Every structure is written in structure tokens, then in C-alpha cells.
Amino acid sequence: MEIKKVRGFQDIYGKEAKKYRYIVDTARNIFENYNFEEIILPYIEDISLFIRSVGEATDIVQKEMYTFEDKGGRKVALRPEGTASAVRAFIENKLYTKGSYHKLFYEGAMFRYERPQAGRYRQFHQIGAEIFGVETPLADAELIKMVKDLLDRLSINARLEINTLGDFESRKRYIQTLKEYLNKTKENLCDVCKTRIDTNPLRVLDCKVKACKQSIKDAPKLIDFLPEESLKRYQRLKEYLKELKIEFVENPRLVRGLDYYTDTVFEFVSDEIGAQGTIAAGGRYDNLVEQLGGPPTPALGFAAGIERLMILLKQTPPEKQLTVIIPMIQEFEPQALKLASLLRKKDLRTELLLKTGSLKSKMKTANKLGAKYVIFLHEKPELKDMETGEQEIFQTEEDLVDVLLKRTTQTS
């Protein structure tokens, strides 16, 4: 019997793989221009890392983590997100001793046991960044601008939504009041939200069920509970965004699904991809480093979902022109192998036709491959320009390569 891929997992190939690579390369380029450094993090972590950071009561920890015991009896999880690992690495490698602040980015697969649908998979990929050690909202503005630059470069339209969650203390007071309100309207909430009232009431504000959205319309607002300091930094951030001409909407219901956030939270949302509209999200987590055993370190970060960016990415980058080499003898072709490796060394994209057959069928293949040039290897090498139809015979292969190089550098 044929073996199929596991539900919620995907093969990314062909044009989709090109999109994936283009998005990651573009992001890497932009992040490096912002002077972020890459960190390559493990896919498996101690389960308690996520319990202590993402939060015991969150959907991720409660229902979505892939957990198992390894052969040494360690309780581990496939990472559901990147921030926890980045913080763990920051502490474990004492990166805080290496400068006054740190800017890191990462990329790769994340795993969550969710209900698969368009734009939602059990293995998905994120590109994200973190800033450690900066308290001022200047960092929040810069991070948001960096995400905006990425979306602009990819020609993706998304609405920026921002909110502030304040500190843990005032949020606690707010949650108390919110619980009272939710209990009063309990019958109108979905079953999941009914249980959330006790376990994770903030998450009700984020529920996608219509009835829930309706019933929280008049819920108390977190912003009314926040201290002066939080409001001031929120004001600052908005001023920075205005200076940068980044449009935003304030969404007092934006709470995010992870426990570690404080103060600024933000999402970039697209209306073009239905319910799975959030393409990038992040915020501050000023307590997390200390909570995980590091020195008190204000920090913030974001992650973008690569699959969702792929859905929204309309154009793929122009591809390198292809030269196809067609050997004319059937049995032994050392000359063709040598020419092909010479062209590749010169950084030309080259396909040596590996299948034998009639000249006609070989030309058909060259056409299908989208060859810009074809080289026939007879006694003397011959170059054909597939666009103009022009054909030219050369004395030596070196002569042909010289001309080919000149032409390809002119046109690319």
C-alpha cells in the first residue's frame, strides 16, 4: 500500500518551494540590513520550557503540543513557536554578557496539533525576530517597521493592528473584572469559551466564533486598567508609527494566544485569506527572560507564518536563464560533461540532457525546460538562441563559452 503524508503535514515543491525560498531570502536580507543576527535553534526542547513561557492554560500547551519521552526518559516537545527557545538560548549562552542589547532572527518549522485547513497546518514555518535588552518603544517601532518592510518588499497588503496589554499586575485586576462580565453572559458563549472563563478568560476576547464576538462587544476594556507608564509608552509607539508613516488601527480586543506578552502587542492581518488572516504577530515580553531564570531583561519579538505569506505572494522572482546542452552522440559523452561543469563554474544555470532520443524529442525537452540557449555538440559546437532562433557554429568550445557569457551578462 502507498504511504501517505501525515495529516496536517505538507510537501512543498515546485513553484511553492520557490516562493518559500524567496520569502525566506527576502526576510533574511532585510533583517540583516537591520543588523539582526541569525540563531539556529533546536526543534526539540524540554516540555517545561513551553509550559513556563507560552503558559500552562494556553491552547498551545493544553492541546496542541507534540510531546514525547525520548529514549533517555526526557520529556520533550517539538517546538510550537520560536520565542521560548530564543529566550532559553539567550539565557543559557549568557548572550547578555556580550553586549548591552541583542537582536536575533530565526527561521524554520514549528509544530502544533491543530485542525488542518487552508493556511493552518500541523507543521508550519515561521520567520521571526527578537530584541533583548531594550526598554524603550523605539525598539517596538523598529521591529514593526522591519515587518512592514518585509511585507512591502513582498507586495503583500496587511492591516497593522496594535494594542497594549500593560503589566502583569494591572492585567490581573482586569481579568478579575472580565471574568465577572463573562460569567454574566456565559450562556451566549461557545463551549470552549465557557471553560476559558476560568482557565484563560483573555482568550475569549480573541475567539473567532460569531456568538462570542457578539457577546464581548461591551466587555470592559483592558486599557482602562493600565498604569500611566504603559499608556505613555503606548502613546510613544503610536507617535513613532505616525512618523514612519505606518498606518495602524488600535484593536482593544487584541490579546494574542500566549501568556508571556506585556505592553505592546501587534498583528498584521490580511482580509484576503479568510479566517486565517493573521500573517505576522508579536509583542513585548518584558518578564519572560527573568521568569525563565535569566537576568531581568526587557524584550520583544514577532513571528510571521511563511505558508500564509506564500498564499498572499503573487509574484515569484525572475528566474535565471537556462542553457541546455544537447549531446549528439549517444554512447559516451565526456565532452558534454566537461562543458556542462565549465558553464556551471561560470555561474550559468545549465541542464545537460541526460536522456537519449531523437534530436526532435531532445529539442522538445529543451523547450519544455524553458531553455534560453541550446548548445549542440557536433564536431564543432553550435549555439542556438531559442528566442530569436539564431544559430551560430564556433571553432572551439572556449569561443562559444565566451560569447554565451557576454550575452547572458548583457541580458540579466
The letter for the amino acid at 375 is: I
- CB-based contact 109:9 (threshold 8 Å): no
Which residues, at least 6 apart from 184, have a Cβ–Cβ distance to it below 8 Å?
none
Query: How far is Cα of residue 281 from the mean position of the Cα atoms in its chain?
Result: 10
* Residue 255 beta carbon to ligand ATP: minimum distance, rounded to whole angstroms: 10
* Residue 59 beta carbon to ligand ATP: minimum distance, rounded to whole angstroms: 8
Closest of 234, 218, 216, 236 to residue 170, by C-alpha:
234
CA distance 364 to 408: 22
Judged by CB under 6 A, does residue 281 bind ligand ATP? yes
The residue from 106, 124, 234, 373 that contacts ligand ATP (CB under 6 A) is: 124
Q: Angle at CA 346, nearest 5°, toward 344 and 352?
A: 25
Q: For ligand ATP, what does the binding mask look like between residues 72 and 91, x meaning CB under 6 A? A: ---------x----------
CA distance 7 to 266: 31
CA distance 233 to 264: 9
CA distance 386 to 367: 8
* Residue 119 beta carbon to ligand ATP: minimum distance, rounded to whole angstroms: 6
- Total of residues contacting ligand ATP (CB under 6 A): 19
* Residue 326 beta carbon to ligand ATP: minimum distance, rounded to whole angstroms: 43
* Residue 376 beta carbon to ligand ATP: minimum distance, rounded to whole angstroms: 48
* Residue 202 beta carbon to ligand ATP: minimum distance, rounded to whole angstroms: 12
Which strand (E) or helix (H) includes residue 192? helix 191-199
The letter for the amino acid at 299 is: A
Judged by CB under 6 A, does residue 121 bind ligand ATP? yes
From 29-37, 89-97, 299-307, 337-345, span contacting ligand ATP (CB under 6 A): 299-307
Q: Which residue, 254 or 339, is less far from ligand ATP as judged by CB?
A: 254
Instruction: Give the CA count within 13 Å in the CB-facing half-sphere of 46.
Output: 7
Handedness of CA 181, 182, 184, 189 (dihedral sign): positive
Q: For ligand ATP, what does the binding mask look like between residues 342 and 371, x meaning CB under 6 A? A: ------------------------------
The letter for the amino acid at 326 is: I
From 32-40, 112-120, 152-160, 327-335, span contacting ligand ATP (CB under 6 A): 112-120
The residue from 276, 291, 335, 365 that contacts ligand ATP (CB under 6 A) is: 276
From 183-191, 305-313, 361-369, 399-407, span contacting ligand ATP (CB under 6 A): 305-313
Task: Report DSSP letters for 193-248, one per residue.
Answer: HHHHHHH-GGGGGG---HHHHHHTTTPPPGGGG--HHHHHHHHHHHHHHHHTT---
Judged by CB under 6 A, does residue 308 bind ligand ATP? yes
| Intra-chain end-to-end CA distance of the chain, in Å | 48
The residue from 305, 362, 376, 404 that contacts ligand ATP (CB under 6 A) is: 305
Q: What is the 3-state secondary structure (H, E, C) of 252-272?
A: CCCCCCCCCCEEEEEEEECCC
* Residue 303 beta carbon to ligand ATP: minimum distance, rounded to whole angstroms: 4
Q: Which residue, 149 or 385, is less far from ligand ATP as judged by CB?
A: 149
Q: For ligand ATP, what does the binding mask look like between residues 236 and 275, x meaning CB under 6 A? A: --------------------xx------------------
Q: Which residue, 156 or 326, is less far from ligand ATP as judged by CB?
A: 156
- CB-based contact 304:280 (threshold 8 Å): yes
Q: Which residue, 55 or 119, is less far from ligand ATP as judged by CB?
A: 119
* Residue 121 beta carbon to ligand ATP: minimum distance, rounded to whole angstroms: 4
Q: Which residues of the chain form contacts with ligand ATP (CB under 6 A)?
A: 81, 112, 114, 119-121, 124, 126, 256-257, 276, 278-281, 303, 305, 307-308
